[in-house]
Amino acid sequence: MGKKGKDKKKGKGAEKTAAKTDKKLSNKMKKELQKLGEEDIESIVSQIEKEEKKRQQVTESVIEAPTRRLNFTFIPHPDKEQLILYGGEFYNGQKTYVYNDLFFYNIPTGSWTVVKAPAGPPPRCSHQMVATSANKGQLWLFGGEFVSPSQAQFYHYRDLWVYHISQKQWEKIQAPNGPSARSGHRMVYVKKNLIVFGGFHDNLRDYKYFNDVYCFNTESYKWTKLEPSGTPPAPRSACCMVPLNDGRVLIYGGYSKEKIKKDVDKGHVFTDCFLLTPEKNDTSGTKWKWVQTKLGGAHFSPRCSMPMTSTPNNTTAYCYGGVFDVEEDEENLAGIFYNDFISLDLEKLTWRNVTVSGKKTKEAKKEDIVDVEMEEEQAVEPTTISDDGVFKVTVGPSLGCNTSSSEKTTSDGPKVFQPSPRLNCGLAVKHGVLYLYGGMFEDGDKQVTFSDFYSIDLRKLDEWKVIIQDDTSSQEWFGSDDESNDEDEEESEEGEEDESDSEMETDP
């Protein structure tokens, strides 16, 4: 046997082991991709972007409706009577499809148009998009992720794009010092700046959640990393984020997870609220501070994946649905889905349960506007239980949602239709009307992705109007019956590889 060198540096063995582990995982991934018939995901994304660059002409097609999808963006057109839907994903039990379609919904005519413009972004989901009237209309897109059909690979983007609405042309912005690759982040438009907060990155071997803040100036085309003073929110994704009229940005809730042990993670749903506040007398636009605050008004149970949209004048924000995962055991979760319709007064910072009244007489119209039985109580305040900013979730009383029915009972007794429980639906407000599109619900092991479409007049609050009725029974689901066998085969292959590697690592 050879004699080991005495001058071997401390930590060299650990580095060597880590390198071998990475190599082993890489080889395993190559074998899996070969078996699945998939290329390396970076090659797939690069090839898609090359194909997009080859497109020479703009094509527009009127369609019946977008296909089923989840984790898309849904925003009002900055100038026209239209709504805009971009990207998203769909999983049918066997394969994941990721999209880069750009849809325009014409409100007066009730028609959908899909636009394919030259040199567009590759497909993505869990991204962020905002609209502005500047330069005859712009759509700003940042980040998101691409998932391979087998879900064996994830690719997170850090690219920034702008779609020039009047020209029907995409432009990829080449600006250094921007945020790292991520998805599940949030982005708002404030005084000609894009403010990006949070998100996560997952490469199937490890994951990381963020609480950093970046600012992109849409006139100078420059990124700036902000370093706000004060105590920041804990790292998270999927939070609610909305600008206020005075230039502050409100951040509520969100989700993160941490490793408890190998292959076991624990999720955390946040119920705290922070205001990202510009410093007084700062003319540079780069000095901000964090201020934790309480939200008053109604209590509702903790949840994540609850979308938020605000009115054009930023006086009220609206939320719908969401989910809260309940641990059945150490490795299995069951989701409680909601169809609560909630509003947040952005001036008083208080929650309200929005009551849909049903058709009433003219004398009763005043009662349709607000819920007069709202309890004005303080929202649940988070309690810090560790230095890393993880908060203890205190479950408050529910807003009385019925997760198994699309009807609710008003104070007068009659049942009023309401869209069914779901997470991550699209919400957009245009001229006093709230529009709700799609989302997802879990029925046991089946993932039901919606393609339904509703609207409600926020001044009357008398009824949800059905624009597109969704027959979820028509969704095909190809859940694999051989998952356990596949897992057994994988474990067997891993065992064989481990034996081979252990023989290679033995010192002579």
Residue 429 lies in a domain: no
Residue 260 pLDDT? 84
What is the C-alpha separation between 276 and 101, in angstroms, rounded? 33
Q: At what angle do helices 12-36 and 483-505 cross, to 10 degrees?
A: 140
What is the C-alpha separation between 145 and 231, in angstroms, rounded? 29
Residue 221 lies in a domain: yes
- Each residue's pLDDT expressed in tens, for the chain with a length of 508 residues: 444 444 434 445 555 544 454 445 555 555 565 565 578 899 999 999 899 988 889 999 999 999 999 999 999 999 999 999 999 999 999 999 999 999 999 999 999 999 999 999 999 999 999 999 999 999 999 999 999 988 889 999 999 999 999 999 999 999 999 999 999 999 999 999 999 999 999 987 889 999 999 999 999 999 999 999 999 999 999 999 999 999 999 999 999 999 888 878 889 999 999 999 999 888 888 899 999 999 999 999 999 999 999 999 999 999 999 999 876 665 566 789 999 999 999 999 999 999 998 875 444 444 333 333 333 333 333 333 233 332 233 233 334 333 334 666 555 556 899 999 999 999 999 999 999 999 999 988 899 999 999 999 999 999 999 999 998 888 999 975 444 444 444 444 444 444 344 333 334 4
Which segments within 26-151 are labelled E, that is strand? 59-63, 73-76, 82-91, 96-106, 111-116, 128-132, 138-142, 145-147
Residue 38 pLDDT? 75
Residue 119 lies in a domain: yes
Among left, alpha and beta (phi > 0; psi -120 to 50; other), residue 359 is: beta
Structure tokens at 403: 């997760």
CATH assignment of the domain containing 192: 2.120.10.80
Sequence-distant (6+) residues with CB within 8 A of 204 are 152, 153, 154
Query: What's the structural domain count of the chain?
Result: 1
Residue 446 lies in a domain: no
Residue 179 pLDDT? 98
Residue 335 pLDDT? 86
Residue 218 lies in a domain: yes
Residue 134 pLDDT? 95
What is the C-alpha separation between 457 and 464, in angstroms, rounded? 8
Q: Render the burial of 167-190: b for 16+ CB within 10 Å, e for the rest.
A: ebebeebeeeebbebbbbbbbbbb
Residue 177 sits in which domain range? 37-226
Least Cα distance to 98 among 206, 196, 183, 198 occurs for 183
Place of tokens 């082993």: 24
Q: Quote the pTM value.
A: 0.81
What is the C-alpha separation between 65 and 52, in angstroms, rounded? 23
What is the C-alpha separation between 483 and 491, in angstroms, rounded? 12
Residue 136 lies in a domain: yes
Residue 490 pLDDT? 45
What is the C-alpha separation between 198 and 214, in angstroms, rounded? 9
Residue 56 pLDDT? 87
What is the C-alpha separation between 232 and 227, in angstroms, rounded? 10
Cβ contact 144:183 at 8 Å? yes
Place of tokens 């700036």: 224
Residue 34 pLDDT? 56
Per DSSP, helices labelled H in 419-475 are none
Helix (H) or strand (E) holding 500: helix 483-505
Residue 106 lies in a domain: yes
What is the C-alpha separation between 337 and 409, in angstroms, rounded? 18
